[in-house]
Amino acid sequence: MSKTVSFITENFGKYDPNSIDSYLSIGGFTATKKALAMSSGEIIDIAKKASVRGRGGAAYDTGRKWAQAAAVPGDDKVVICNADEGEPCTFKDRNILSKDPFRLLEGMIIAGYTVGAKNGYIYLREEYRHLRPLIKSAIQQSVDKGYLGDNILGSGFSFHIHLYSGAGAYVCGEGSTLIESIEGKSGRPRIKPPFIKECGLFQLPTLVNNVETLAIATAILQNGVEEYLKYGTPQCPGTKIISLAGNVKNPGAYEIPFGLTLREIIYDIGGGIPDGRELKIFQLGGASGRTGSAALLDTPYTYDDLHKYNLVVGSGGILVVDDRTRVIDFIKSIQDFFIHESCGKCTPCREGNRQIAKIIDRFVAGTQRPDDLETALRFANIMKNCAFCGLGETAQSSLLSAVEHFPEEFGKTEVASK
């Protein structure tokens, strides 16, 4: 029996994403029509009731975010769709963008209407440039049919969507960095305050939402919030698209109800580990997420249950690593990634990553010094607390959690008894 569900992804494969007529034939744009007949406050109430947390990784309450964005004064605001899905082991947004682009556009229109924005921007990562023609065409067809542009469906609400391209920089997934990039600059985060909700893109009040978050908004308005709340657990209702990959038999993006255990996800949906191997490490939420061991496999996949074990939902990435990979080699791979992606603006992240990398290299080679682990952990905590943006704050999550769950791999017992 399949444990996956179909709510956010219900349109996948049901229509031709190249054709708005095909989308309309399956009830497309009913969510937009419903929204335009409601007040901003009513939509915010629905969003709050659904308690959807941001799906890019930060897990901020979407209803709250929308309420704050709506409350900011100004008649020229901006909605940005963050389609810079750069977190390794995350490809769920690619599925939405390629299989249901109109649902995403609807989510942007609804968000724009709710917060009072005039313009929407999709920031699409360079790696997904093959999807540009599809999305451009979806925007144009929506304009042609009157679902986008001036005076949408005679409601008096006008909203325009623009498509921008990233150029291969992980840090641009961070809200203010993404804004810098859309403004045609290199991607380095801005200091806050001012917060982007007040002073973001082109100095305008700006709302940034992830692709999946916006798609959920459409799905909820279309089907009703009660339908969404039927899924999941009482404490953590709803569904989530996960990106399952690594050493599993059936890697892929799956929509699941919250509350399945990691074991169900990896073994029932993912088919388990190939080649008769054993699970050694799993990592949730991409490279900035946290790692766990097989002992935690019975943890339900909800925000609170994962939090108890210091794990996160993050981007929804679930990476499975079998016993052929050493923990330290896994950590080195993550560290190489952050060395490459640190933008260099702040010292904790730029230098911290470098110094920790040197220590990790010594662990890989087996030439670590007695105080190396302690030093690495100290630097990691400095980064976590003092880095300028989310990238530096979370870059060492893997290391910190790996030391927690696999102390023996770092010779921790020896250090403790020293």
Contacts of 238 (CB under 8 A, 6+ apart): 7, 50, 51, 52, 216, 228, 229, 231, 232, 257, 258
Residue 167 in contact with another protein, rule: CB under 8 A: yes
Q: For 283-341, give the DSSP string.
A: EESSTTSEEEEGGGTTSBSSHHHHHHTT---TTSEEEEEETTS-HHHHHHHHHHHHHHH
Using the contact rule CB under 8 A, the part of the chain among 63-71, 208-216, 340-348, 401-409 near another protein is 340-348
CB-CB contact of 34 with 222 (8 Å): yes
- Region of 123 please: left (phi>0), alpha (psi -120 to 50) or beta: beta
Applying the rule CB under 8 A, the residues between 67 and 86 that interact with another protein are 85-86
DSSP classification of residue 282: E
CB-CB contact of 285 with 19 (8 Å): no
DSSP classification of residue 267: I
Beta bridge mates, 284:
290, 318
Identity of the residue numbered 386: C
Read off the tokens for 378.
Answer: 């100290």
Least distance from C-beta 403 to another protein, angstroms?
17
Residue 37 in contact with another protein, rule: CB under 8 A: no
Q: Which helix (H) or strand (E) holds 112?
A: helix 101-115
Taking the least distance from each CB to another protein, the nearer of 114 and 243 is: 243
Chosen residue from 10, 336, 374, 404 binding another protein by CB under 8 A: 336
Chosen residue from 66, 102, 113, 128 binding another protein by CB under 8 A: 128
Using the contact rule CB under 8 A, the part of the chain among 51-59, 150-158, 162-170, 225-233 near another protein is 162-170
> Distance between CA 265 and CA 346 in Å, rounded?
38
Least distance from C-beta 391 to another protein, angstroms?
13
Residue 337 in contact with another protein, rule: CB under 8 A: yes
Taking the least distance from each CB to another protein, the nearer of 275 and 408 is: 275
Identity of the residue numbered 36: L
Chosen residue from 1, 2, 130, 276 binding another protein by CB under 8 A: 130
Residue 322 in contact with another protein, rule: CB under 8 A: yes
Read off the tokens for 205.
Answer: 């009040």
Least distance from C-beta 51 to another protein, angstroms?
28
Using the contact rule CB under 8 A, the part of the chain among 67-75, 119-127, 298-306, 373-381 near another protein is 119-127
Residue 287 in contact with another protein, rule: CB under 8 A: yes
Give the strands of the sheet with 77-83, arranged side by side: 160-165, 117-124, 77-83, 206-210
Residue 125 in contact with another protein, rule: CB under 8 A: yes
Least distance from C-beta 244 to another protein, angstroms?
8
Residue 104 in contact with another protein, rule: CB under 8 A: no
Site string for another protein, 232-271 (x = CB under 8 A): -----------x-xxx---xxx------------------
Q: How far is CA 280 from CA 29, 297, 405, in A?
A: 45, 11, 11
Residue 164 in contact with another protein, rule: CB under 8 A: yes
Chosen residue from 66, 330, 363, 379 binding another protein by CB under 8 A: 330
Measured in degrees and rounded to the nearest 5, phi and psi for residue 131 equal: -90, -5
Q: For 210-263, give the DSSP string.
A: EHHHHHHHHHHHHH-HHHHHTSB-SSSBSEEEEEEEES-SS-EEEEEETT-BHH
CB-CB contact of 166 with 181 (8 Å): yes
- Region of 299 please: left (phi>0), alpha (psi -120 to 50) or beta: beta
Taking the least distance from each CB to another protein, the nearer of 72 and 171 is: 171
Applying the rule CB under 8 A, the residues between 84 and 103 that interact with another protein are 85-91, 94
Residue 127 in contact with another protein, rule: CB under 8 A: yes
Least distance from C-beta 27 to another protein, angstroms?
28
Using the contact rule CB under 8 A, the part of the chain among 135-143, 183-191, 225-233, 389-397 near another protein is 183-191
Residue 340 in contact with another protein, rule: CB under 8 A: yes
Taking the least distance from each CB to another protein, the nearer of 77 and 125 is: 125
For binding to another protein (CB under 8 A), which residues are involved?
85-91, 94, 125-130, 164-170, 181-187, 202, 243, 245-247, 251-253, 283, 287, 319, 321-322, 324-325, 329-330, 333-334, 336-337, 340-341, 343
